[in-house]
Structure 1
């Protein structure tokens, strides 16, 4: 397949290159370890990135360079109400925080995000990150970015790469699994539009 027939553009948020030809196109999701210039040219610089995974009651923070994990930390908090199995945050949206148990869980929730941001601040002081691999439940975003301890990056930071994969409760093993996923590339295309691409991939 002659790549001179294609125009291409780089999407930083998705860390992917889109190739198009005669109205049709396909997408190449790049490994996070690959650095790309604005004009979609691959460079040979080594990538250092922070990974932040947040779900109700648990979070993982890791510092990676190339394919190596340099540091990691797992955070946990008691945020789920017994028997009902709902998170304290969801409960607050419906029934408030009048009971003592609810107030305790809310305090632990706020401390959970303060601890995460305290750790992030240290990493950002000690490192220059090329990317921020990020996955966070939507309902938790206001608590992360509205914490008393300020998050050291903005939610619109251009380095953020929203991980395109479902996340289980983040622990160290889950983080390493996510690292393996991010270290791989993926071609997304319609085989009816690019039968020659289908043939090439079948021979890899």
Structure 2
């Protein structure tokens, strides 16, 4: 796997390079700002881009805008956005362009190296990984008329794990239930969100978008 990293903190940037190298993941280029990221991606065509949200010169959303520019110029490029704090808008802006190969994690997750490397590999393979704290905040502010209110607590758990990019088997293992039980929960989620088998678009993706407040359900 080949990776491009955009992170203004030299210490964190070099730490990521070493951490990835230990997992046999090659960093082909690095940047200390968001402006140069699209050019580096065009030059190296990496399997994954890791980018900090807040970068020079204003330290607001330069990294996110660079990530969106990469996805616009090279659709399907897997992107992992790192953030110091939970910022829901950045997560929903990123995932609004499609959930395949997208990740949004708090920087503190890097400390759990095994989990972080697993997330990196899943995103590069086309999966979706959204930080549990972001999901928790989004869930906590749902309106009473939201269709997600019809879901049971267990269905909320399943959909939350789907938003983190977990497969059915991984969800079953996390919840200590059978694969069949997970499939039943997912079917109920689709039904309650009005996502029919014949509806255009991938129902799993559309369910995650609804969960993150970006889909018109």
Q: Same fold (TM over 0.5)?
A: no
Q: TM-score, normalised by structure 1?
A: 0.29
Which of the pair is proportionally richer in helix?
A: 2
Which of the pair is proportionally richer in strand?
A: 1
Q: TM-score, normalised by structure 2?
A: 0.28
